[in-house]
Structure 1
Amino acid sequence: MKINLVLAFLLSHLFCQPALSENFTKGDITVESPWVQKSDTGENRAEGFALIHNGGFNEDRLLSISADISDHVVIHETIKQYGKVKMQKVVEPLAIEPNGYLEFKPGDYHFMFFNCRDELREGEMIPAVLHFEKNGDVKVNFTIETPDDVPDNP
Protein backbone atom coordinates (compact mmCIF):
# COMPACT_ATOMS: atom_id res chain seq x y z
CA MET A 1 0.00 0.00 0.00
CA LYS A 2 2.80 2.42 0.90
CA ILE A 3 4.52 1.74 -2.41
CA ASN A 4 1.30 2.56 -4.32
CA LEU A 5 0.93 5.86 -2.45
CA VAL A 6 4.56 6.80 -3.05
CA LEU A 7 4.29 5.85 -6.72
CA ALA A 8 1.05 7.84 -7.11
CA PHE A 9 2.68 10.86 -5.47
CA LEU A 10 5.75 10.69 -7.68
CA LEU A 11 3.74 10.27 -10.87
CA SER A 12 1.35 13.10 -10.02
CA HIS A 13 4.29 15.34 -9.16
CA LEU A 14 6.01 14.47 -12.40
CA PHE A 15 3.05 14.88 -14.75
CA CYS A 16 1.05 17.61 -13.02
CA GLN A 17 3.87 19.99 -12.30
CA PRO A 18 3.61 23.30 -14.18
CA ALA A 19 6.37 24.35 -16.52
CA LEU A 20 9.55 25.40 -14.78
CA SER A 21 9.43 29.09 -14.13
CA GLU A 22 11.01 31.73 -12.01
CA ASN A 23 9.75 34.75 -10.10
CA PHE A 24 11.40 38.17 -10.35
CA THR A 25 11.16 40.78 -7.60
CA LYS A 26 12.16 44.40 -7.21
CA GLY A 27 10.82 46.53 -4.39
CA ASP A 28 7.15 45.75 -3.89
CA ILE A 29 6.67 44.15 -7.32
CA THR A 30 6.96 40.42 -8.04
CA VAL A 31 6.56 39.10 -11.58
CA GLU A 32 5.55 35.46 -11.34
CA SER A 33 6.18 32.80 -13.98
CA PRO A 34 6.66 34.92 -17.12
CA TRP A 35 6.35 32.90 -20.33
CA VAL A 36 5.83 33.47 -24.06
CA GLN A 37 4.40 31.48 -26.88
CA LYS A 38 5.23 32.04 -30.52
CA SER A 39 2.40 33.29 -32.69
CA ASP A 40 0.68 30.53 -34.62
CA THR A 41 -0.05 32.91 -37.53
CA GLY A 42 3.38 32.37 -39.08
CA GLU A 43 4.47 35.90 -38.23
CA ASN A 44 7.68 36.48 -36.30
CA ARG A 45 6.01 37.59 -33.09
CA ALA A 46 5.11 36.20 -29.69
CA GLU A 47 2.64 36.76 -26.89
CA GLY A 48 3.87 37.05 -23.31
CA PHE A 49 2.08 36.27 -20.08
CA ALA A 50 2.75 36.59 -16.34
CA LEU A 51 1.15 37.31 -13.00
CA ILE A 52 2.29 40.57 -11.40
CA HIS A 53 1.86 41.12 -7.67
CA ASN A 54 2.15 44.45 -5.90
CA GLY A 55 3.02 43.51 -2.31
CA GLY A 56 3.30 47.14 -1.19
CA PHE A 57 1.00 49.58 0.55
CA ASN A 58 0.72 51.93 -2.44
CA GLU A 59 -0.69 51.55 -5.92
CA ASP A 60 1.86 51.19 -8.72
CA ARG A 61 1.37 51.35 -12.47
CA LEU A 62 2.90 49.27 -15.25
CA LEU A 63 4.06 51.81 -17.82
CA SER A 64 5.67 49.70 -20.55
CA ILE A 65 7.90 46.75 -21.43
CA SER A 66 11.08 46.49 -23.50
CA ALA A 67 13.08 43.55 -24.86
CA ASP A 68 16.15 43.41 -27.11
CA ILE A 69 14.74 40.47 -29.09
CA SER A 70 11.86 42.57 -30.47
CA ASP A 71 11.53 45.76 -32.51
CA HIS A 72 8.90 46.81 -30.01
CA VAL A 73 6.81 45.22 -27.30
CA VAL A 74 3.31 46.46 -26.62
CA ILE A 75 0.86 45.81 -23.83
CA HIS A 76 -2.29 44.47 -25.51
CA GLU A 77 -5.71 43.42 -24.41
CA THR A 78 -8.07 41.07 -26.16
CA ILE A 79 -11.57 42.48 -26.55
CA LYS A 80 -14.83 41.38 -28.12
CA GLN A 81 -16.38 43.95 -30.40
CA TYR A 82 -19.32 43.50 -32.76
CA GLY A 83 -19.19 39.74 -32.26
CA LYS A 84 -15.50 39.52 -33.17
CA VAL A 85 -12.39 39.11 -31.06
CA LYS A 86 -9.55 41.55 -31.62
CA MET A 87 -6.44 42.82 -29.90
CA GLN A 88 -5.75 46.44 -29.15
CA LYS A 89 -2.90 48.38 -27.60
CA VAL A 90 -3.43 49.47 -24.01
CA VAL A 91 -2.99 53.23 -24.02
CA GLU A 92 -3.09 54.05 -20.31
CA PRO A 93 -0.69 52.53 -17.75
CA LEU A 94 -2.22 49.58 -15.91
CA ALA A 95 -2.75 50.14 -12.18
CA ILE A 96 -1.96 47.46 -9.62
CA GLU A 97 -3.66 48.05 -6.29
CA PRO A 98 -1.80 47.59 -2.98
CA ASN A 99 -1.47 43.86 -2.30
CA GLY A 100 -3.20 43.32 -5.65
CA TYR A 101 -2.52 41.35 -8.80
CA LEU A 102 -2.46 42.08 -12.51
CA GLU A 103 -2.78 38.96 -14.65
CA PHE A 104 -1.53 38.65 -18.21
CA LYS A 105 -3.13 35.53 -19.70
CA PRO A 106 -4.36 34.22 -23.05
CA GLY A 107 -7.55 35.95 -24.16
CA ASP A 108 -6.97 38.96 -21.88
CA TYR A 109 -4.04 41.29 -21.20
CA HIS A 110 -0.77 40.14 -22.78
CA PHE A 111 2.59 41.43 -23.97
CA MET A 112 2.95 41.40 -27.76
CA PHE A 113 6.54 41.02 -28.98
CA PHE A 114 6.65 42.27 -32.61
CA ASN A 115 9.28 41.45 -35.26
CA CYS A 116 11.35 39.11 -33.10
CA ARG A 117 14.96 39.15 -34.29
CA ASP A 118 15.81 35.58 -33.32
CA GLU A 119 14.15 32.21 -33.72
CA LEU A 120 12.05 31.41 -30.67
CA ARG A 121 13.07 28.00 -29.36
CA GLU A 122 11.18 26.12 -26.69
CA GLY A 123 12.88 26.25 -23.29
CA GLU A 124 15.03 29.30 -24.08
CA MET A 125 14.64 32.64 -22.31
CA ILE A 126 13.75 36.10 -23.54
CA PRO A 127 15.18 38.81 -21.28
CA ALA A 128 12.90 41.82 -20.88
CA VAL A 129 12.36 44.80 -18.60
CA LEU A 130 9.00 45.84 -17.16
CA HIS A 131 8.87 49.56 -16.38
CA PHE A 132 6.84 50.59 -13.32
CA GLU A 133 6.00 54.08 -12.15
CA LYS A 134 7.08 53.70 -8.51
CA ASN A 135 9.19 50.52 -8.32
CA GLY A 136 11.21 51.29 -11.44
CA ASP A 137 12.53 48.66 -13.82
CA VAL A 138 12.05 44.96 -13.11
CA LYS A 139 14.26 42.64 -15.16
CA VAL A 140 12.62 39.33 -16.06
CA ASN A 141 13.22 36.30 -18.26
CA PHE A 142 10.26 34.97 -20.23
CA THR A 143 10.46 31.21 -20.82
CA ILE A 144 9.55 30.19 -24.38
CA GLU A 145 6.89 27.49 -24.22
CA THR A 146 4.75 25.64 -26.72
CA PRO A 147 0.97 25.65 -26.27
CA ASP A 148 1.07 22.09 -24.90
CA ASP A 149 3.47 23.21 -22.12
CA VAL A 150 1.54 26.30 -21.10
CA PRO A 151 0.74 26.41 -17.37
CA ASP A 152 -2.87 26.87 -16.30
CA ASN A 153 -1.92 29.87 -14.18
CA PRO A 154 1.11 31.75 -15.43
Structure 2
Amino acid sequence: MKQLMAALALLVVFSEHVSAHKFEKNGIVVGHPWARATAPGAAVGVGYLTITNNGKEADTLTGGTFEGADHIEIHEMKMDGDKMMMRQLKDGLEIKPGETVKFNPGANHLMFVGLKAPIAQGPKIKGALTFAKAGTIDVAFQVESLGAMSSSDADHSSMKMDDSEMKHDHAQ
Protein backbone atom coordinates (compact mmCIF):
# COMPACT_ATOMS: atom_id res chain seq x y z
CA MET A 1 0.00 0.00 0.00
CA LYS A 2 2.88 2.39 0.84
CA GLN A 3 4.38 1.77 -2.60
CA LEU A 4 1.06 2.56 -4.27
CA MET A 5 0.73 5.80 -2.28
CA ALA A 6 4.31 6.82 -3.15
CA ALA A 7 3.67 6.06 -6.83
CA LEU A 8 0.48 8.13 -6.78
CA ALA A 9 2.30 11.01 -5.07
CA LEU A 10 4.98 10.96 -7.79
CA LEU A 11 2.30 10.86 -10.48
CA VAL A 12 0.68 13.97 -8.98
CA VAL A 13 4.03 15.79 -8.86
CA PHE A 14 4.87 14.95 -12.46
CA SER A 15 1.39 15.72 -13.79
CA GLU A 16 1.47 19.10 -12.03
CA HIS A 17 4.84 19.90 -13.60
CA VAL A 18 3.40 19.08 -17.02
CA SER A 19 0.62 21.63 -16.39
CA ALA A 20 3.20 24.36 -15.70
CA HIS A 21 3.37 26.48 -18.81
CA LYS A 22 6.20 28.16 -20.63
CA PHE A 23 6.62 29.59 -24.10
CA GLU A 24 9.85 29.83 -26.14
CA LYS A 25 11.03 31.54 -29.30
CA ASN A 26 14.47 32.57 -30.59
CA GLY A 27 16.20 32.10 -27.22
CA ILE A 28 13.54 33.90 -25.16
CA VAL A 29 11.68 31.78 -22.60
CA VAL A 30 8.48 33.13 -21.01
CA GLY A 31 7.52 31.17 -17.91
CA HIS A 32 4.25 30.94 -16.01
CA PRO A 33 2.33 33.98 -17.29
CA TRP A 34 -0.52 34.77 -14.91
CA ALA A 35 -2.98 37.54 -14.21
CA ARG A 36 -5.17 38.52 -11.30
CA ALA A 37 -8.92 38.51 -11.60
CA THR A 38 -10.38 42.02 -11.48
CA ALA A 39 -13.38 43.57 -9.79
CA PRO A 40 -16.39 44.49 -11.95
CA GLY A 41 -15.86 47.81 -13.69
CA ALA A 42 -12.04 47.75 -13.45
CA ALA A 43 -10.38 49.52 -16.37
CA VAL A 44 -6.97 47.87 -15.87
CA GLY A 45 -5.62 44.47 -14.94
CA VAL A 46 -2.18 43.20 -14.06
CA GLY A 47 -0.01 40.33 -15.25
CA TYR A 48 3.14 38.59 -14.07
CA LEU A 49 5.66 36.12 -15.50
CA THR A 50 9.36 35.40 -15.87
CA ILE A 51 11.46 36.04 -18.96
CA THR A 52 14.79 34.30 -19.51
CA ASN A 53 17.10 35.25 -22.35
CA ASN A 54 18.97 32.10 -23.43
CA GLY A 55 20.24 33.89 -26.55
CA LYS A 56 23.63 35.47 -27.20
CA GLU A 57 22.33 39.03 -27.57
CA ALA A 58 20.24 41.32 -25.38
CA ASP A 59 16.59 41.61 -26.34
CA THR A 60 13.92 44.09 -25.29
CA LEU A 61 10.34 43.40 -24.28
CA THR A 62 8.51 46.23 -26.05
CA GLY A 63 4.83 45.42 -25.48
CA GLY A 64 2.19 42.91 -26.33
CA THR A 65 -1.49 42.08 -26.35
CA PHE A 66 -3.98 40.65 -23.87
CA GLU A 67 -7.34 39.36 -25.08
CA GLY A 68 -9.99 41.75 -23.78
CA ALA A 69 -7.69 44.77 -23.29
CA ASP A 70 -6.79 47.67 -25.56
CA HIS A 71 -3.05 47.26 -24.96
CA ILE A 72 -0.28 46.20 -22.58
CA GLU A 73 2.10 48.55 -20.79
CA ILE A 74 5.33 47.44 -19.11
CA HIS A 75 5.66 48.92 -15.61
CA GLU A 76 8.29 48.90 -12.91
CA MET A 77 7.92 49.63 -9.22
CA LYS A 78 10.82 50.97 -7.17
CA MET A 79 11.33 52.54 -3.81
CA ASP A 80 12.09 56.27 -3.92
CA GLY A 81 13.10 57.02 -0.35
CA ASP A 82 10.15 55.78 1.69
CA LYS A 83 7.65 55.88 -1.21
CA MET A 84 6.86 53.12 -3.69
CA MET A 85 6.87 54.59 -7.20
CA MET A 86 5.37 53.01 -10.32
CA ARG A 87 6.28 54.10 -13.82
CA GLN A 88 5.71 52.90 -17.35
CA LEU A 89 8.81 51.75 -19.23
CA LYS A 90 7.94 53.38 -22.55
CA ASP A 91 11.11 52.10 -24.23
CA GLY A 92 10.51 48.56 -22.97
CA LEU A 93 12.62 46.36 -20.73
CA GLU A 94 15.98 44.96 -21.82
CA ILE A 95 16.84 41.38 -20.92
CA LYS A 96 20.56 40.62 -21.23
CA PRO A 97 21.90 37.23 -22.39
CA GLY A 98 21.69 34.69 -19.55
CA GLU A 99 19.45 37.00 -17.48
CA THR A 100 16.08 36.11 -15.99
CA VAL A 101 13.69 38.98 -15.24
CA LYS A 102 10.80 38.33 -12.87
CA PHE A 103 7.51 40.20 -12.99
CA ASN A 104 6.00 39.89 -9.48
CA PRO A 105 3.49 41.75 -7.30
CA GLY A 106 5.19 44.88 -5.96
CA ALA A 107 7.83 44.84 -8.73
CA ASN A 108 7.93 44.75 -12.53
CA HIS A 109 4.52 43.90 -13.99
CA LEU A 110 2.40 44.11 -17.12
CA MET A 111 -0.55 46.48 -17.02
CA PHE A 112 -3.54 45.46 -19.16
CA VAL A 113 -5.08 48.79 -20.10
CA GLY A 114 -8.62 49.42 -21.35
CA LEU A 115 -10.31 46.21 -20.20
CA LYS A 116 -13.52 45.52 -22.11
CA ALA A 117 -14.82 43.19 -19.34
CA PRO A 118 -13.61 42.04 -15.93
CA ILE A 119 -10.89 39.38 -15.88
CA ALA A 120 -12.50 36.26 -14.40
CA GLN A 121 -10.61 33.69 -12.34
CA GLY A 122 -10.30 30.31 -13.98
CA PRO A 123 -9.71 29.94 -17.69
CA LYS A 124 -6.45 30.97 -19.30
CA ILE A 125 -6.56 34.12 -21.42
CA LYS A 126 -4.63 34.45 -24.67
CA GLY A 127 -2.05 37.13 -25.15
CA ALA A 128 1.24 37.81 -26.85
CA LEU A 129 4.50 39.50 -25.91
CA THR A 130 6.53 41.48 -28.41
CA PHE A 131 10.33 41.54 -28.36
CA ALA A 132 12.63 43.71 -30.48
CA LYS A 133 14.62 40.71 -31.79
CA ALA A 134 12.68 37.53 -30.93
CA GLY A 135 9.45 38.93 -32.38
CA THR A 136 6.02 38.00 -31.07
CA ILE A 137 5.58 35.12 -28.63
CA ASP A 138 2.03 33.84 -28.12
CA VAL A 139 1.29 33.10 -24.45
CA ALA A 140 -1.66 32.13 -22.24
CA PHE A 141 -2.17 33.84 -18.87
CA GLN A 142 -3.44 31.66 -16.01
CA VAL A 143 -6.05 33.74 -14.13
CA GLU A 144 -5.79 33.62 -10.34
CA SER A 145 -7.96 35.20 -7.62
CA LEU A 146 -8.30 38.94 -7.12
CA GLY A 147 -5.69 39.16 -4.34
CA ALA A 148 -3.35 36.36 -5.46
CA MET A 149 0.34 36.90 -4.78
CA SER A 150 1.55 34.06 -7.01
CA SER A 151 0.29 31.65 -9.63
CA SER A 152 -0.89 28.23 -8.55
CA ASP A 153 0.77 27.03 -11.76
CA ALA A 154 4.22 28.37 -10.82
CA ASP A 155 3.94 27.14 -7.21
CA HIS A 156 4.37 23.54 -8.38
CA SER A 157 7.95 24.20 -9.44
CA SER A 158 8.87 24.51 -5.76
CA MET A 159 7.43 21.15 -4.71
CA LYS A 160 9.79 18.53 -3.29
CA MET A 161 9.55 15.11 -1.70
CA ASP A 162 10.71 14.73 1.91
CA ASP A 163 10.44 11.37 3.70
CA SER A 164 7.69 10.25 1.29
CA GLU A 165 5.57 13.31 2.12
CA MET A 166 4.80 16.12 -0.30
CA LYS A 167 5.54 19.57 1.04
CA HIS A 168 5.48 23.06 -0.46
CA ASP A 169 8.57 25.22 0.00
CA HIS A 170 7.07 28.71 0.26
CA ALA A 171 10.31 30.48 1.23
CA GLN A 172 10.96 31.89 -2.22
Q: TM-score range by the shorter chain?
A: 0.7 to 0.9
Counterparts of 2:26 and 2:63, CA distance in 1: 17
Q: Percent identity?
A: 28
Counterparts of 2:108 and 2:33, CA distance in 1: 13
SS at match of 1:91: coil
Counterparts of 1:148 and 1:58, CA distance in 2: 32
- Structure 2 residue aligned with 1:78: 77
1:38 aligns with 2:37: yes
Per-residue deviation, 1:85: 2.1
Alignment-mate amino acid for residue 151 of structure 2:
V
- Structure 1 residue aligned with 2:46: 47
Contact 2:41 2:118 in 1 (8 A): no
Per-residue deviation, 1:22: 1.3
Per-residue deviation, 1:83: 2.1
State how 1:34-113 maps to structure 2 within 5 Å: 34-39=33-38, 43-113=42-112
Counterparts of 1:87 and 1:4, CA distance in 2: 52
| TM-score calculated relative to the size of structure 1 | 0.79
SS at match of 2:91: coil
How many pairs were matched up? 151
Counterparts of 1:71 and 1:21, CA distance in 2: 27
SS at match of 2:5: helix
Unpaired segments ≥5 residues, structure 2: 158-172
CA distance 1:23–1:8, change in 2 (3 Å): same
SS at match of 2:63: strand
Measured against aligned partners, the alpha-carbon deviations of 1:25-48 in whole angstroms (never above 9, x if no partner) come to 111111111000134696242110
- Structure 1 residue aligned with 2:134: 135
SS at match of 1:126: strand
Unpaired segments ≥5 residues, structure 1: none
Measured against aligned partners, the alpha-carbon deviations of 1:5-57 in whole angstroms (never above 9, x if no partner) come to 9369739x57xx68x44111111111111000134696242110011111111
Contact 1:64 1:75 in 2 (8 A): yes
| TM-score calculated relative to the size of structure 2 | 0.72
Contact 2:41 2:117 in 1 (8 A): no
Alignment-mate amino acid for residue 84 of structure 2:
V
Contact 1:21 1:33 in 2 (8 A): yes
Contact 1:129 1:139 in 2 (8 A): yes
Counterparts of 2:126 and 2:93, CA distance in 1: 21
- Structure 1 residue aligned with 2:114: 115
After superposition, the CA RMSD in angstroms is 3.1
- Structure 1 residue aligned with 2:151: 150
Counterparts of 1:39 and 1:86, CA distance in 2: 22
